[in-house]
Structure 1
Amino acid sequence: MAEDTHRIFVCTTCRHQGSDCRPGFELMKKLQDALAVAAPLTGASFEVSGIACMAGCSRPCTVAYRASGKATYLFGDIDPDEDIDDLVAFAAQYRGLEDGWCSSPTRPGKLRRTTLARIPAAMIASESSKVNVS
């Protein structure tokens, strides 16, 4: 497997219903710190960054995992105080998956039931191989 950078995006726009608080900034910092400690397990190839709205507004906070040639995942209902361990465990799992594909029962903890989307990796079409784009 290539040592391509894996990316984790944290929505910084999300608000919990009835609140002006934007917990994405807190979640991003806690996740960055936890991944730094877990680097022997997860590898040093993760970048964590904030991103404006990922359209998971009804299920804040939203977090996405992405890497070249792998399925992308979007999770919602993430709590900065309770779900950091699950996010780090998934980072280690995701890094080890050749195509990023895993079923919900194999995901850690809360991430088994809070998946908003799994987007397959894009296939590149070329005339010489006659492969369709998916």
Structure 2
Amino acid sequence: MDKAKAAAHRITVCTNCRHVGRPCRPGLDLLKHLQVAISQAGRVLSDDFSLEGSVCMAGCERPCTVAFQATAKATYLFGDIEDAADIGALVSFARLYQDRPDGLTRESERPRALGGKTLARIPAAIVSAEYQLSPLQ
């Protein structure tokens, strides 16, 4: 089975800089180092997270940007991520995010190195049967 399809969680790193119109070397390096760190964190984490690059995540003023996503969970977008300094914090956040059924965390619960780096927390897009309109008869 394809790992990307099997993984319940996704981490996306911005890897293209629209300011210079070419691939973002810091983003590509961050993605590579984060892949190694998640893999080294153990099978429970590495099997549950897919990692990928994205062309633009609209965080250009606060690079590098990293998003955490999962079905029925809040999405997080972090900016000002520094490769070596924040890798451990990103892995710690991945564990926290994985353990939360709704993905929600308070800033005080997140790794200290990510303090002030949360650009967005987007609520989960869940369509509930009780909110759907019933068809006209």
Q: Which has the higher helix share?
A: 2
Q: Report the counterpart of residue 3 of structure 2 in structure 1.
A: none
> For each residue in 1:22-46, what CA deviation from the matched residue of structure 2 results, as whole angstroms up to 9, or x when unmatched?
3000000000000001025635210
Q: Residue 16 of structure 2 aligns to a residue in which SS?
A: coil
* Structure 1: gaps (5+ residues): none
CA RMSD of aligned residues (A): 2.4
Taking a change above 3 Å as real, the CA distance of residues 49 and 89 of structure 1, as seen in their structure-2 partners, is: same
Q: Residue 7 of structure 1 aligns to a residue in which SS?
A: strand
Matched, 1:31 2:73: no
Q: Report the counterpart of residue 94 of structure 1 in structure 2.
A: 97
Rounded to whole Å, the distance in 2 between the matches of 1:21 and 1:68 is 28
Taking a change above 3 Å as real, the CA distance of residues 86 and 111 of structure 1, as seen in their structure-2 partners, is: same
User: TM-score, normalised on structure 2?
Assistant: 0.82
* Structure 2: gaps (5+ residues): 1-5
Count of aligned pairs between the two proteins = 126
Aligned positions of 1:2-13 closer than 5 A: 5-13=8-16
Q: Report runs of 4+ in structure 1 exceeding 3 Å deviation.
A: 14-17
> For each residue in 1:85-131, what CA deviation from the matched residue of structure 2 results, as whole angstroms up to 9, or x when unmatched?
000000000000010001111101221210000000012144xx245
Q: Report the counterpart of residue 71 of structure 1 in structure 2.
A: 74
The sequence identity of aligned pairs, in percent, is 49
Taking a change above 3 Å as real, the CA distance of residues 6 and 130 of structure 1, as seen in their structure-2 partners, is: closer
